[in-house]
Amino acid sequence: MRRPIDSLFGRLALLVVAVLMLSHFAWYALMRLERSQLQTRYAVEEATFLVDAVRQHVARTPDQPLPSRVKLVDPSSNDVPAANSNMPAPLERFVEDVRDRMPAGTQVRVGPPGGPPTLWVRAATDQNWIVVPVQPLRMPRSLDRTVLWLAIIFSFAVMAALFAAWALQQPLRSLAQAVTRFGRGLPVPPVPERGPRELRQLTHGFNQMVQEVARTEHDRAVMLAGVAHDLKTPLARLRLRAEMMDDAKTRDGVVRDVDSMTHIVEQFLVFAHDGGDRSEPVEVDAQCERVVRSYRAVAAGATTVQTELNAGPSFLLPAATLDRILSNLLDNAHAYGAPPVIVATARTSQGFTLSISDNGKGIAAQDLINASRPFVRLDPARGGNGHSGLGLAIVERLVRRAGGEWEIGNHGGRGLRVLMSFPFEVLPRAAAASENAW
């Protein structure tokens, strides 16, 4: 199962959300702290200003009444609050800041709790206590309007950042899909060169590489097809002349050699063919049964070919592609394997499977990696029997072109097995590949 966090977009999204959340949280905490300190500074400035104003009022116009909430209290009065050393930390800082703003030796106290907050100040030169109102020091609320605005800003920032991350990873995703198609041997249209400069350079280099590989592959296919096609005419004349020989033993030997060469030429032509298969799709189970029945009728010793067809009617493949896959693998199993040869299909949770296995000696583990390489014959003695080393290479190319994957190996020490896996949407993918190749 694919996890979203494994994708580039998922990791960019996680990084963006984490960074934005951390920055907004730090900003909010700093703002709350600064607001608290600002409130304390403002209260200190206000209290200091009021005390200075009362002193000037007493000194200049002692006969004028004071404001209602400002008063002078005799030091011997019982209303004078006692010095309190167990004040809350914010209030204690407030008293210390006010004391620092006053002349040396000034006494600063706060009014008794329960009433309006007041500040009591008396300097050495003051005859009475000066009582002025102060702003209540309230701690910032845990949830206020700032949190709402912060959530709105954070939401818009996350949406904008996710869109930017999505736009950044789209060119890379297109390039990754093109690389996957190129690795499967499917036609690869030019990838649009967009995104950052480094990504544009990478895409440009990939497009150039695909063009060069396609040009080289085309030149090789044209050369191979041309040589194979030119050989068909002299082979036909050679067979005709062999049929006219009087010596039956010599005639049969020459005919066998011509047939072997003809088979090699046909394999060359199939391998060189680079177009898509536009044949009608057929049910794989039914077609496998028909091919096996025909193979038993024409091939000596093919009666031991068995079928285990369980994929169902929804497993479809182009007819020509399926026929070539089956004919190459059955010929290979008949020539180098041992009976019984089993053709099996199945339906799994990921798609369909088609496998052909025999009960021969299989292939050595060190040779499996080269088994599907073109023109590689694991047994040099096989070259004289009409084999060019293209059978498995053709099968691999056909399977990948049809949108599937293949696996070759020895199964339980009972011979060679070629297992081909196709997704459920194999037919639409194969049709799309055919149109792109056309």
**Measuring CA to CA, which residue among 184, 225, 209, 214 is closest to residue 430?**
184
Beta-carbon contacts of 281 under 8 Å, excluding residues fewer than 6 positions away, are 316, 317, 318, 319, 427
**Measuring CA to CA, which residue among 52, 47, 44, 55 is closest to residue 128?**
55
pLDDT at 372: 60
pLDDT at 6: 63
Beta strands, E only, 28-182: 71-73, 107-110, 118-122, 129-133
Q: Contact, 55 vs 126, CB < 8 A?
A: yes
**Measuring CA to CA, which residue among 78, 76, 53 is closest to residue 64?**
53
Domains by residue range for the chain, with CATH:
4-133 (no CATH), 278-437 (3.30.565.10)
Which pTM value belongs to this model? 0.47
DSSP state of 244: T
pLDDT at 381: 40
Q: What is the mean pLDDT of each run of 10 residues along the chain (438 residues)?
A: 63 79 78 70 84 87 82 86 78 85 87 81 88 69 65 82 80 86 79 85 90 78 67 75 77 74 66 63 92 76 79 89 86 83 92 91 74 56 47 81 86 83 70 45
Beta-carbon contacts of 12 under 8 Å, excluding residues fewer than 6 positions away, are 165, 168, 169
Which of 331-363 are b and which e, b meaning 16 or more Cβ less than 10 Å from the residue's Cβ? bbbbebbbbebbbbbbeeeebbbbbbbbbbebb
DSSP states of 159-224: HHHHHHHHHHHHHHHHHHHHHHHHHTT---PPPP--SSHHHHHHHHHHHHHHHHHHHHHHHHHHHH
pLDDT at 300: 58
388's tokens: 């060019």
pLDDT at 259: 73
Q: Contact, 162 vs 13, CB < 8 A?
A: yes
119's tokens: 């500040």
Q: In whole angstroms, what is the distance from residue 177 CA to residue 8 CA? A: 14
- Angular region, 263: left φ>0, alpha ψ -120 to 50, beta rest: alpha
